[in-house]
């Protein structure tokens, strides 16, 4: 079935989620400190202890969710689905098995479903931060899931 797309506007002031696995928290903190001035123009959100560390390092308000393994990843996924997160910066550790891997996979999946920019490492995060779209309104194409669901319901 061919899915149609609709345009959803991302505001100039983005809602940026910042997440890091334990072995990547120091890397994320170093990255946000290097980009504090640019990030200060946006709303920040983070899971668990990452949020507390970010607030301390940046001196900026950070909306703090639960720790990832305790439901924070799922809270973040719900925010993405509801249109409450515009960009996901998630420094994950690909070499360390995580007990909440299904939650992480679900989070990354929902970010793709709703077509939001995602960075999983410092290089990609740098590219997103350097984008002229970060501080400008952006017309983000997303699948028209209402039409998709209606077509599936009508299918034999």
Return all residues near 14 (Cβ < 8 A) that are at least 6 apart.
Answer: 42, 43, 86, 87, 134
Cα 57 to Cα 54: distance, rounded to the nearest angstrom: 5
Q: What's 10-154's CATH class?
A: alpha beta
User: What's the mean pLDDT in 127-144?
Assistant: 95
Q: For residue 96, what are the CA distances in angstroms to 33, 62, 70, 93, 114?
A: 25, 27, 18, 6, 27
Please name which of 74, 52, 75, 72 lies closest in space to residue 62, comparing C-alpha atoms: 52
The pair of three-digit structure tokens given for residue 116, joined into one six-digit string: 């939001």
pLDDT of residue 106: 93
Q: Is the pLDDT of residue 88 over 60?
A: yes
Indicate whether this model's pTM tops 0.85. yes
pLDDT average, residue stretch 91-117: 87
Q: What is the pLDDT of residues 39-86, one digit of tens each?
A: 999 999 999 989 999 999 999 999 999 998 889 999 999 999 999 999
Q: Is the pLDDT of residue 149 over 70?
A: yes
For 13, residues 6+ apart whose C-beta sits below 8 A from its C-beta are 41, 42, 43
Residue 1 confidence (pLDDT) above 60: no
Residue tagged active-site, from 22, 37, 73, 103? 73
Residue 73 annotated in active site: yes
Number of neighbours of residue 154 by Cβ within 10 angstroms: 7
Indicate the average pLDDT of the chain. 91
* Structural domain spans, the chain: 10-154
Residue with tokens 């709703």: 114
Give pLDDT, residue 32: 97
């Amino acid at each position: 079935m061919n899915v149609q797309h609709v345009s959803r506007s991302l505001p100039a002031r983005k809602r940026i989620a910042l997440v890091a696995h334990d072995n990547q928290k120091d890397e994320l903190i170093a990255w946000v400190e290097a980009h504090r001035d640019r990030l200060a123009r946006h709303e920040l959100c983070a899971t668990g202890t990452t949020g507390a560390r970010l607030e301390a390092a940046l001196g900026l308000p950070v909306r703090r969710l639960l720790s990832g393994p305790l439901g924070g990843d799922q809270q973040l996924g719900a925010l993405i689905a509801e249109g409450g997160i515009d960009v996901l910066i998630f420094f994950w550790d690909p070499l360390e098995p995580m007990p909440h891997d299904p939650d992480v996979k679900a989070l990354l999946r929902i970010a793709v479903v709703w077509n939001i920019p995602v960075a999983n490492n410092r290089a990609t995060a740098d590219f997103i931060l350097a984008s002229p779209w970060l501080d400008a309104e952006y017309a983000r194409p997303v699948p028209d899931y209402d039409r998709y669901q209606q077509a599936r319901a009508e299918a034999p």
